[in-house]
Chains A and B, each alone.
Chain A
Amino acid sequence: MQALHLSCFTAVSCLGTGLEPTLAALAANRSGLARCAFETAELATHIGAVAGVDDYRLPAELAAYDCRNNRLAVLALEEDGFAEAVRAAAQRYGAARVGVFLGTSTAGILETEQAYRRLDEAGAFVAPPVYEGSHTPYALADVVARHLGLSGPAFVVSTACSSGAKVFASAARLIGAGLIDAAVVGGVDSLCLTTLYGFNSLELVSAEPCRPYDSERKGISIGEAAAFALLERPAGTLPPEAVLLAGVGESSDAYHMSSPHPEGRGAYAAMRAALESAGLCAGDVDYLNLHGTATPSNDAAEGQAVMRLFGRDVPASSTKGATGHTLGAAGALELVIAALTLQHGLIPGSPGSHELDPALDLDYVFTPRRQALGVVMSNSFGFGGSNASVVLRRADAKGHA
């Protein structure tokens, strides 16, 4: 694919609000996970909650969109000059020439859960949730487009935990087809009881903070995040530290709804396709941000695929020990982290993980390393066997275009 410029990006997670605290936490190998005290949840687990979402107020004109997910989204748009950069792009290209493609798995389901606690005797809502502005998945793309004044194509991708990565492919295709000139891509998922109790019912939730790739890993820690990037064709000569979207690879496991193929067949296919899309080979990749959820089966399957494709030659880590698993936002959050690693020459560590699973022969990075990086890959795999791998590179690294 033709490389696209991530001309602005931002992220909010339990590590902090915006890029600066995110980078500082990664450099210090600090985790944002804490004992679960969310809403009325009574679960022995750790979560990655974003501070200040409850108290954040949407602008008055977005009142019909008020819900935790949309608050988190708009809160993040206001960081790192992101909203200003997008509005300037809309001025340059025209509001209808900028698309909005965002990943989410649960949108505003929390407010629907709360409304279900107050039904009358006939089973009707006493205090109905807002369907169009909060409950429906598209509410996320709608509120972001409205806040930024965009009127281009807009949709939500909801492929469970690969959502926030797959939107990069959708955006690149429609830019490539000439339908739009730029796109706001990203992912937003916020804490809710559906995912906390749902993953708990599958016995996939760890009581302690998650430990990706560790021999003692016991499951995931759920987090929440919003992460966004503005994608556009590279304009003129970019500075060396500019970050480009170089390639995206997608695949389907065609195996099981909630378990990955044990040898990571789909993961391998997605990583291979991403390299091909970027015109690069495995040896060109300097760092791999793993999906690494810390469930026994996910890390084993992904690890097998990584061993086959990269052997021990590529430093790899999962940052979910720092951020928690932010589900539909994870792909976007980890791409923003990958972009930071490229710009700052930092390979993140893996807080909470201490000893690599002996079945996995990888260069797993436990504590941050300072190292110049030119090309990084990020993996995102979801329920239903939906896989996406994305390759980013610095403008001064080799690659297409």
Chain B
Amino acid sequence: MSKLTAYLDGVGALGPGFDNWTQLAARLRGEEPWRPAPTVLPAPQALPPAERRRVGKPVRLALALGFEAAAMAGSDTTKLATVFTASGGDGDNMHALCTTLAEPERLVSPTRFTNSVHNGPAGYWGIAAAASAPCNVLSAFDSSFAMGLLEALGQLQDEQRKVLLIAYDTPYPGPLASLRPLPDSCGVALLLSPQRSERSLARIAVTVDAAPCGSTGLAELDALGQSAPALRALPLLAALANGQAVRCALEAPLPLAVELQPCV
């Protein structure tokens, strides 16, 4: 049975009712109650002003997540390989483009079109972080977190280098929202390293195996985790926040078990 392993050196988190990992961890430990509140997406300060104004929710979300995890791990972003995973694209752009294409003149905005690619956040991350290392951008519907983690661990093992995994989801506006209900913008970032260091928070291992469903131990946060593919990581992060080991299933096309063992 092959096993993919890594050390977790940094975490980023952003979503409804939490602005960062510190806040989410406090809620996962039960120190503060989680209350739904609109996600506050910070402006991406690392981008040049012209780009900063143009970018939409997925870019602001993914950049905030990635920089938080990289800063926590003390990692140099210019050398970090990245894996972005999102269950859908930029819903706001898609809605605007489809609306324009349904009009007789079809006057498509070039900026909207450029920013509509699924790898928009990855492209802006490259510019903001001056990161010329490889990056990959995935989508796997409700399995997007699990498949992103597999891709990140595959890169880490194959090339023996650190990989930053950024999993995020943004809601659709307009009629698409009825077909794919998602909560407010949310996501997590994990900075994964092949070697244990003084920064290491936990060891993560993924195997092809059946495992019990994970839980945060808090009903509202379990419900939030089920509402967005990127937040399928919440049971794992709950164990991290509480300093506990856990082994649980990841939603995927095949049985996948993930283990987290805190570094002490």
Query: A residues engaging B (CB < 8 A)?
Result: 1, 96, 105, 109, 112-113, 115-117, 119, 123-125, 128-129, 131-132, 135-138, 141-142, 145, 151-160, 166, 169-170, 172-174, 176-179, 193-194, 197-202, 250-258, 265-266, 269, 273, 382-386
Contact = CB atoms under 8 A, between A and B. Distances in A.
B143 interface: yes
Contact of A128 (B106, B116, B138, B179): B179
A281 B124 CA distance: 32
A96 B98 contact: no
A384 B122 contact: yes
Contact of B99 (A116, A152, A253): A116
Interface of B: 2, 4, 51, 85, 87-89, 94, 97-99, 101-102, 106-110, 113-120, 122-124, 126-127, 129-141, 143-144, 147, 150-151, 153-155, 157-158, 174-176, 178-180, 208, 252-254
A257 B140 contact: no
Contacts of B176: 112, 131, 135
Contact of A152 (B124, B138, B254): B254
Nearest to A96: B254
Contact of A153 (B85, B158, B253): B253
Contact of A156 (B98, B110, B139): B139
B180 to A, nearest CB: 5
Contacts of B101: 113, 116, 193-194, 197
Nearest to A174: B154
A280 to B, nearest CB: 18
Contacts of A105: 117-118
A253 B102 CA distance: 34
Contacts of A154: 140, 143, 147, 253
B45 to A, nearest CB: 17
A160 B85 CA distance: 14
A252 B131 contact: yes
Contact of B139 (A158, A172, A197, A200): A158
Given A123-B174, A132-B141, A385-B126, A202 B114 contact: yes
Nearest to A204: B110
A116 B102 CA distance: 6
Given A125-B178, A197-B108, A384 B119 contact: yes
A160 B119 contact: yes
B139 A135 contact: no
A265 B114 CA distance: 21
Given A117-B102, A142-B141, A201-B109, A153 B147 contact: yes
B98 A113 contact: yes
B106 A131 contact: no
Given A113-B102, A128-B178, A386-B137, 7 more contacts: A158-B89, A178-B2, A197-B108, A198-B108, A253-B126, A273-B134, A382-B119
B177 to A, nearest CB: 10
Most buried by A among B115, B131, B141: B141
A173 B254 CA distance: 18
Contacts of A166: 136
B104 to A, nearest CB: 10
Contacts of B132: 251-254, 265-266, 269
B158 A173 contact: yes
Given A201-B110, A258-B114, A383-B114, A158 B137 contact: yes
Contacts of A137: 88-89, 118, 139
Given A124-B178, A151-B253, A383 B110 contact: no
